[in-house]
Copies of this chain bind each other. A is one copy, B any other.
Amino acid sequence: MKLGGNGNQLIATTSIPTKCVHCAVRARALFQGIPPDQLEWTQQYRENQYRAPARARLFSEGQQHPYVYTLYSGWVLLSNSLSDGRTQILRFALPGDFLGFQANATSPMSSSAYAITESMLCAFPKADLQRMMTESSGLAARMATLAARDMAQLQQVLLSTGQKNAREKLASLLLELYVRVRALGNLVPGSDEHSIVFPLSQEMLSQSLGLSVETVNRTLRGLREDQILEIRSKRLYMLDQNKAMAIAEIDINSIAEQALL
């Protein structure tokens, strides 16, 4: 499957009644910290739960899309592409993340979203979100917080992409994802003492880091041989976290903290 290509353009939508089951995630994503009395009226707004199968495209760069999403479960990637197919993955979204929010609700999406694993999402009409933001300063402030958080994360990614070499980039990304997944605890199942479930292909890693697939492969081999990190059968093993941190130079505390915002 070409990530930069067309893929499955349609969102597989199994519409389910309004009630959201993953309350923990929902609270965290959109309504965290907002007083209950400000939340009641959210019931009058339409929101729907969707199931996106692995490899589904949620929305595409340049196209109109009327919804924003809260990710309940699964991994989703956001990307931008150039006309010749070169694709940059901007971020990997994990449960609790908010997708599709833009400065201007009516303009086309600035990036594409693609479900890496089967995912559950809660869709919210942008028009409603906009109205709700004018009514609740709590919700508007929440959106600002989430945007600022994603911003900080993206800045770290830019530092990696612009300044680090292949080994540093890879260690940064893998350590970041490892920390985020662990910070989310049981929202992302399958973690154990020193490893997490890890559904990303080497192609995705390469498109996230601005490297070729071959370089990713060779660099992963290096990290494995040095007993630092290993990816095996869709799991990421943290073999030596101290060494990984020394190479990556990222602040795992603030990453963990931000994952929980």
User: What residues of chain A have their CB less than 8 Å away from a CB belonging to chain B?
Assistant: 80-83, 86-88, 90, 101-104, 107, 110-111, 133-141, 143-152, 154-159, 161-164, 209-210, 249, 254, 257-258, 261
CB contact between A210 and one of B135, B146, B148, B161 (< 8 Å): that residue: B161
Contact between A154 and B156, CB atoms less than 8 A apart: no
Contact between A88 and B163, CB atoms less than 8 A apart: yes
Residues of B within 8 A of A107 (CB): 254, 257
Instruction: State the 8 A-B residue pairs at the shortest beta-carbon distance, nearest first.
Output: A162-B210, A147-B147, A140-B140, A137-B137, A143-B144, A103-B148, A144-B144, A140-B141
CB contact between A111 and one of B135, B155, B257 (< 8 Å): that residue: B155
CB contact between A137 and one of B90, B134, B258 (< 8 Å): that residue: B134
Contact between B137 and A133, CB atoms less than 8 A apart: yes
- A135 to B141, alpha carbons, bound, how many Å? 10
CB contact between A82 and one of B87, B111, B146, B163 (< 8 Å): that residue: B163
Min CB distance A101 to B, Å, is 6
- Beyond A135-B137, A140-B144, A147-B147, list 12 extra A-B contacts (CB 8 Å): A80-B158, A103-B145, A104-B261, A107-B254, A110-B156, A111-B155, A134-B137, A137-B137, A140-B143, A141-B143, A158-B158, A158-B161
Give the copy number.
2
Q: In the complex, what residue of chain B is closest to A136 when comparing beta carbons?
A: B137
Contact between A80 and B144, CB atoms less than 8 A apart: no
Residues of B within 8 A of A111 (CB): 155
Contact between A82 and B209, CB atoms less than 8 A apart: no
Contact between A148 and B82, CB atoms less than 8 A apart: no
- A149 to B107, alpha carbons, bound, how many Å? 12
Residues of B within 8 A of A101 (CB): 144, 148
Min CB distance A216 to B, Å, is 13
Min CB distance A180 to B, Å, is 15
- A89 to B133, alpha carbons, bound, how many Å? 32
Q: In the complex, what residue of chain B is closest to A80 when comparing beta carbons?
A: B159
Q: In the complex, what residue of chain B is closest to A62 when comparing beta carbons?
A: B251
- A159 to B145, alpha carbons, bound, how many Å? 24
Min CB distance A169 to B, Å, is 10
- A95 to B155, alpha carbons, bound, how many Å? 21
Min CB distance A65 to B, Å, is 14
Query: What are 20 pairs between A and B in contact, CB < 8 Å?
Result: A80-B155, A81-B159, A88-B158, A88-B159, A90-B155, A90-B159, A102-B152, A103-B151, A103-B261, A104-B257, A110-B152, A110-B155, A133-B137, A133-B140, A144-B147, A147-B148, A147-B151, A151-B151, A158-B158, A161-B162
